[in-house]
């Protein structure tokens, strides 16, 4: 797998994508440049979506989409077995209800979160971080259902590195206020590829193991874990090929919109997009956005 990934990263898909980026790099403003510097240094950046997008109507539409998703999910959860069966959950990660999951939902301008993900203010930053034209491989909303505080953590609630790609940028937009009890996202700054912990937790394709909490705490200083408690409307951008975990909600649900930007090498070698661009999605998009979703 290393050989296939390295071939796509160095020679095939990513080289073309890097050329596309280098031929017409988008000019970033001061806010975007600051976020890029944070991403490069620590593997994450945090910003209110409203500040990054600078499009009040779109921010409002995303918020409404979140409110509708919460209402529908809670209706489903309250509807006993029948209602609950209609909800999108994946085996092994039942604690997350998803709006779309992996069904290839057609997404286009009618979906506010999709629109935000391909908006130049967001996509230009993702491309600048990856130093190539990125692919948008996953778009979804998640509702994390609270579980008993004494239950065991499972799946992505445990420390891990995402195995799909090292050129990776995930977006997590909190759609409700997230505190310690609602399962905040957590990250070890500097654990991204080429970061200060790269030698400790080195990324390799398809590496799927979980890393014990004791090992993490024995390796990083007490303030070396970033716990993202934050108000609704906060956007976290993170290279999750570094060490992360989250979604251990105990007292309250956590609701977020998420998206994954990755390199074409990931799409070729390791992953599959979870949505299909709707027929009306492409016409209005920039060349970089068409590339991202096509």
Ligand X SMILES: O=C(O)CCC(=O)C(=O)O
- Total residues contacting ligand X by CB under 6 A comes to 8
Here's the x/- map for ligand X, 142-171, by CB under 6 A: it reads as --------------x-----x-------x-
Question: Cβ 109 to ligand X, closest distance in Å?
Answer: 25
Member of 21, 159, 185, 197 binding ligand X (CB under 6 A):
185
For the bound state, the minimum distance from the C-beta of residue 239 to ligand X, rounded and expressed in Å, comes to 11
- Output the smallest distance, CB 20 to ligand X, in A: 26
Exposure of 163 in the CB half-sphere (CA atoms within 13 A): 13
The verdict on 138 binding ligand X (CB under 6 A) reads no
Q: Which is nearer to ligand X, 173 or 288 (CB)?
A: 173
Q: Name which of 166 and 170 has its Cβ closer to ligand X.
A: 170
Nearer to ligand X, 189 or 247 (CB): 247
Q: What is the 3-state secondary structure (H, E, C) of the chain?
A: CHHHHHHHHHHCHHHHHHHHHHHCCCCCCHHHHHHHHHHHHHCEEEEEHHHHHCCHHHHHHHHHHHHHHHHHHHHHHHCHHHHHHCCEEECCEEEEEECCCCCCEEECCCCHHHHHHHCHHHHHHHHHHHCCCCEEEEEEEEEECCCCCCCCCCHHHCEECCCCCCCEEEEEEECCCECCCECCEEECCCCCCCCCCCCCCCCCCCCCCCECHHHHHHHCCCCCCEEECECCCEEEEECCCCCEECCCECCCCEEEEEEEEECHHHHHHCCCCCEEECCCCCCCCCHHHHHHHC
In the complex, least distance from residue 1 CB atom to ligand X, rounded to whole angstroms: 19
What is the x/- site pattern for ligand X, positions 77-96, by CB under 6 A? --------------------
Of 136 and 288, CB closest to ligand X: 136
Q: Minimum distance from CB of 230 to ligand X (Å)?
A: 12
- The binding track of 228-267 with respect to ligand X, each residue x by CB under 6 A or -, is ------------x---x-xx--------------------
- Judged by the rule CB under 6 A, the positions of this chain that interact with ligand X are 156, 162, 170, 185, 240, 244, 246-247
């Amino acid at each position: 797998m290393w050989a296939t990934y390295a071939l796509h990263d160095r020679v095939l898909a990513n080289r073309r994508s890097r050329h596309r980026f280098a031929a017409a790099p988008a000019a970033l403003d001061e806010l975007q440049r600051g976020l890029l510097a944070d991403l490069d240094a620590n593997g994450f950046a945090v910003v209110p979506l409203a500040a990054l997008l600078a499009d009040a109507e779109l921010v409002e539409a995303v918020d409404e989409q979140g409110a509708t998703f919460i209402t529908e999910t809670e209706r489903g959860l309250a509807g006993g077995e029948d209602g609950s069966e209609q909800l999108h959950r994946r085996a092994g990660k039942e604690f997350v209800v998803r709006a779309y999951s992996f069904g290839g939902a057609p997404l286009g301008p009618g979906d506010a979160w999709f629109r935000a993900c391909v908006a130049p203010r967001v996509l230009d930053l993702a491309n600048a971080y990856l130093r190539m034209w990125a692919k948008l491989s996953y778009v979804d909303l998640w509702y994390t259902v609270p579980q008993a505080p004494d239950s065991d953590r499972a799946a992505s609630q445990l420390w891990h590195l995402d195995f799909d790609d090292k050129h990776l940028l995930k977006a997590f937009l909190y759609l409700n206020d997230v505190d310690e009890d609602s399962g905040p996202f957590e990250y070890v700054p500097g654990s991204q590829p080429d970061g200060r912990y790269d030698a400790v937790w080195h990324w390799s394709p398809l590496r799927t193991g979980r890393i014990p909490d004791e090992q993490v705490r024995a390796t990083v200083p007490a303030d070396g874990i970033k716990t993202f408690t934050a108000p609704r409307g906060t956007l976290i951008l993170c290279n999750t090929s570094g060490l992360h975990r989250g979604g251990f909600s105990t007292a309250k649900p956590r609701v977020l919109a998420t998206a994954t930007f990755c390199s074409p090498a990931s799409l070729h070698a390791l992953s599959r997009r979870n949505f299909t661009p709707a027929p009306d999605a492409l016409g209005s998009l920039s060349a970089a956005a068409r590339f991202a979703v096509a």
